């Protein structure tokens, strides 16, 4: 699809999100809206992985009032919900760092040295991904986030015991050569070099 066909709708969507953010910042309903959005996004992440999670069940398990044991999909959805709350409490500069990303994946900052034993390249891969997100700054927010997500999915920086850990849901390219490499990697070009 040509860039000209999607640039306008993407810019409009970005402007709409900015207006929503401004409206919520001044609203008494901000916290309630964010809480509902977090629950809906956590349930949706389970659906994307093929699991069915009812929002009511997620709310009950989150409040520790459910009478049933959580299913694997419900457990994952609750993990996503807790991660989203963690993201909201932390400054973006703390989250978008090697220790911040490792913490989101259940690895504490003090355990970062132990990380090199099980996955020696994780810190370097995360640092490369963070450089890539920094290079996406010249793009509108939504395409930059989509490209950052695509790059993470194509070559996940965080792995644990051979299992790839996905990106927990959001992100900035100034150097033209880097931009081309990012776009090629995001498009799934196997010949594209990692930055």
Summarize pLDDT for 76-128 with one digit per residue, the tens: 889 889 888 888 888 878 888 888 777 776 654 444 454 445 566 778 888 88
Per domain, the residue ranges of the chain are 1-89, 91-195
How far is CA 9 from its chain centroid? Answer: 22
- 0.85 cut: is pTM over it? no
Q: What is the mean pLDDT of residues 124-145?
A: 86
Out of 41-50, 117-126, 162-171, least confident range: 162-171
> Over pLDDT 90: what percentage of the chain?
13
Angstrom distance (rounded) from CA 60 to CA 56: 6
Angstrom distance (rounded) from CA 58 to CA 4: 41
């Amino acid at each position: 699809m040509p860039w000209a066909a999607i640039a306008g709708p993407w810019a409009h969507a970005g402007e709409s999100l900015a207006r929503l953010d401004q409206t919520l910042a001044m609203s008494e309903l901000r916290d309630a809206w964010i809480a509902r959005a977090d629950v809906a996004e956590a349930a949706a992440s389970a659906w994307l992985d093929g699991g069915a999670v009812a929002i009511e069940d997620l709310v009950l398990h989150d409040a520790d009032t459910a009478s049933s044991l959580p299913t694997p999909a419900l457990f994952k959805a609750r993990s996503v919900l807790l991660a989203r709350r963690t993201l909201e409490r932390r400054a973006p500069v703390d989250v978008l760092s090697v220790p911040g990303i490792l913490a989101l994946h259940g690895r504490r900052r003090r355990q970062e040295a132990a990380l090199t034993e099980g996955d020696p390249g994780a810190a370097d891969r995360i640092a490369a991904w963070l450089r890539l997100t920094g290079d996406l700054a010249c793009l509108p927010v939504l395409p930059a986030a989509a490209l950052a997500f695509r790059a993470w999915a194509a070559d996940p920086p965080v792995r644990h015991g051979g299992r790839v850990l996905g990106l927990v849901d959001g992100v900035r390219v100034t150097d033209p050569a880097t931009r081309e490499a990012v776009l090629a990697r995001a498009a799934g070009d196997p010949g594209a070099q990692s930055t």
